[in-house]
Structure 1
């Protein structure tokens, strides 16, 4: 690891007092900002710092973020020992074994899922199950509820589009237990979907299922249910500790009746590693200290004021999570029969004249909005609108070439899923590719219509699906396809991974190819670079090894095959 300078315990030749000497340009700049009592030594790249407890703490803070070569190791070790907080020894999750679920569970678990059940049991039901998408986190959780004593009633908090799926899975995998404890084979546990915000008595059920956005409104009703278990599906929804939904979950999880708190997500970190703290503080309060303590030790603040986990701390944060609260398995680790997933960044042409004309309009509108803005919030919202407008302009500029790319792949009679972000792009794609009678997943659909569109595609009635990135990235199984095409890019790598894993999951028998279409001359390339940078931070914390963002050889081979087959038909 790179050192930014040196740290040595010396006697200052002017004051004759023992002091700390720091060398190195960047280290000295940090010292001058953080420790006002310091002064320059022999030249601008050397700083002398009085040896006080407060200054030692500040030097340690600098060393955590800008590693220094410690030249006086024994003295330094002794000095900082006074400030290293002795943490309460936490119970480490033991080696996992394959455990069979309780008799209330209906169905069979794969071997790795049996270990997942053992993990939940050994963590006393206060855990983050972070298996990659498609490995059956819901099934493992239901197996745990069927095995653990006194786990009912259960509150399931999940995204709106997955509520029906939870109710279906409960009916599929769990048997009803009567009041006297006897199992009723042909009945399922009682459940209710909570869809309205108006306060009223909810009645008695085994499962209460609600979406995140409605929870705050029904907080008082939920507090009266004597809940035993809280399950937070797609727990990344709680990554911000300032939201109403976070407040509601935090308050419910602190109720005396609650014994078990389980978070589920293949992508608990969306953008920055610091997003893991609010989630862990609900599941295992205090494990990562206060948010300030967490940031002081693990993070630095970037130019946008966001806490980013330090590169040299990412591995240790991941180890802490895996040791005490998180189980993370990748498909490549547990499903040897599952084929690879290959990502490829494909640059395509774009209508640059149109794009530049739109950028000019966007820029003029932004200047006008900024000029007329009365508050900082007005300025912020105008900036966000400009970014969204640019993303839509880039999508339209490359649309004809996206359509051509999709048609090329469909020439070899493959099932394809196209993800886009804007409704206008979704409509244009649907119209331009209408000859293929595509299925459509888009925000605003009813559960019934959404499921009908999924069933059409999975049954082979159509070979093309067009889905909104944030409408079709969770709660659906699309293993019929092996090609996923991103016509537009989202700023969060987690959104893309969730979308990819609608295909790359249990039941997929082919290599999945994910193509990210980059409009030549647009800001797409910048967005792609941001996605890669964020991916590296997330991978370093969540996984013990970092995946490459793309596998060019395999993807280029497929592209060559596609074009070859098309050419042979002409």
Structure 2
């Protein structure tokens, strides 16, 4: 391909602006943003606020020996072992990270809610949700994750819009097409991370959309441990790749160079920690 280079089993875009321009000129893509006159949206700004929270070792109890064995397989195993170990390690460490910062995330959310700000809180793991329920239960949170019925989800949405609850907890990949939260919510807290920046953008879009009258803040809560230090720069990399393709005339000359795969970085961090 003219604008890509092979990297392991994947392709990396080396010239995203050129690829984006070609796709638009050929009519393959049609780009519309909230700033386009044709869209007709008039939405206040979005601010992104990264904030480091504390790691709770008591909550993060995990099998460190298993992590180390998986990390070593990612770095030294054969093709099959590397793939299998990488998937297991990803699930294990991201869950540990979410649990380790769950109480700190809850404390941050409580500060916002008690200051009178309705909050949309995003997560992924059930263990994390359980901690949030225990710590934030007195705030009457409502839930919009993967286990509620459609009727329960609609009731949760109404409870927030109509002011019966100031906290809705939602799975990062739930709520596609959900509309109405922007009537009250202007603070979105990302309590666990996804590897894809587009997932975060779409999640924040539950509040940052047509009908919003206030500035929206996306709070990205991270810890100095687990998978967060690896995911954060990877999200920046993915953003730069997609930005060039979707915005080919924005003046960014090249994508962020790739040095390591995400899981190899994570494995190296774990092996170095144990050493």
* TM-score range for the pair, normalised by the shorter chain length: 0.7 to 0.9
> Which residue in the other structure is 2:3 paired with?
298
Q: CA deviation at 1:506?
A: 0.6
> Which residue in the other structure is 2:114 paired with?
411
> Which residue in the other structure is 2:193 paired with?
489
CA-to-partner distance for each residue in 1:226-254, whole Å, 9 max, x for gaps?
xxxxxxxxxxxxxxxxxxxxxxxxxxxxx
Aligned 1:139-538 pairs, distance under 5 A: 296-302=1-7, 304-311=8-15, 314-323=16-25, 324-334=27-37, 335=40, 337-352=42-57, 355=60, 358=62, 360-364=64-68, 366=70, 377=80, 380-472=83-175, 474-477=176-179, 478-479=181-182, 480-538=184-242
Structure of higher RCO (CA pairs closer than 8 Å, 6+ residues apart): 2
CA-to-partner distance for each residue in 1:341-395, whole Å, 9 max, x for gaps?
111211111125765x63624325637999xx9x955652333122111111111
- Larger Cα Rg: Structure 1 or Structure 2? 1
What 5-or-longer segments of structure 1 have no aligned partner? 1-295, 548-570
CA-to-partner distance for each residue in 1:1-27, whole Å, 9 max, x for gaps?
xxxxxxxxxxxxxxxxxxxxxxxxxxx
Q: CA deviation at 1:415?
A: 0.6
Q: CA separation in 1, counterparts of 2:71 and 2:196?
A: 27
Normalising by structure 2, report the TM-score.
0.80
CA-to-partner distance for each residue in 1:382-433, whole Å, 9 max, x for gaps?
3312211111111111122111100111121011011001121122212221
Given that residues 41 and 210 in structure 2 are in contact (C-alpha distance below 8 angstroms), is that contact kept between their aligned partners in structure 1? Answer: no
User: Alignment RMSD, CA only?
Assistant: 2.6
Residues 546 and 346 of structure 1: is their aligned pair in 2 closer, same or farther, counting only changes over 3 Å?
Answer: farther
Given that residues 123 and 193 in structure 2 are in contact (C-alpha distance below 8 angstroms), is that contact kept between their aligned partners in structure 1? Answer: yes
What 5-or-longer segments of structure 2 have no aligned partner? 253-275
Q: CA deviation at 1:530?
A: 0.2
Q: Secondary structure at the match of 1:307?
A: strand
Aligned length: 244
Q: CA separation in 2, counterparts of 1:402 and 1:367?
A: 27
CA-to-partner distance for each residue in 1:277-296, whole Å, 9 max, x for gaps?
xxxxxxxxxxxxxxxxxxx2
Q: CA separation in 1, counterparts of 2:34 and 2:12?
A: 27
Residues 362 and 441 of structure 1: is their aligned pair in 2 closer, same or farther, counting only changes over 3 Å?
Answer: farther
Q: CA separation in 2, counterparts of 1:367 and 1:307?
A: 24
Q: CA separation in 2, counterparts of 1:361 and 1:305?
A: 28
Q: Secondary structure at the match of 1:332?
A: coil
Given that residues 436 and 463 in structure 1 are in contact (C-alpha distance below 8 angstroms), is that contact kept between their aligned partners in structure 2? Answer: yes
Q: Secondary structure at the match of 2:35?
A: helix
Q: Secondary structure at the match of 2:62?
A: helix
Residues 494 and 396 of structure 1: is their aligned pair in 2 closer, same or farther, counting only changes over 3 Å?
Answer: same
Given that residues 536 and 546 in structure 1 are in contact (C-alpha distance below 8 angstroms), is that contact kept between their aligned partners in structure 2? Answer: no
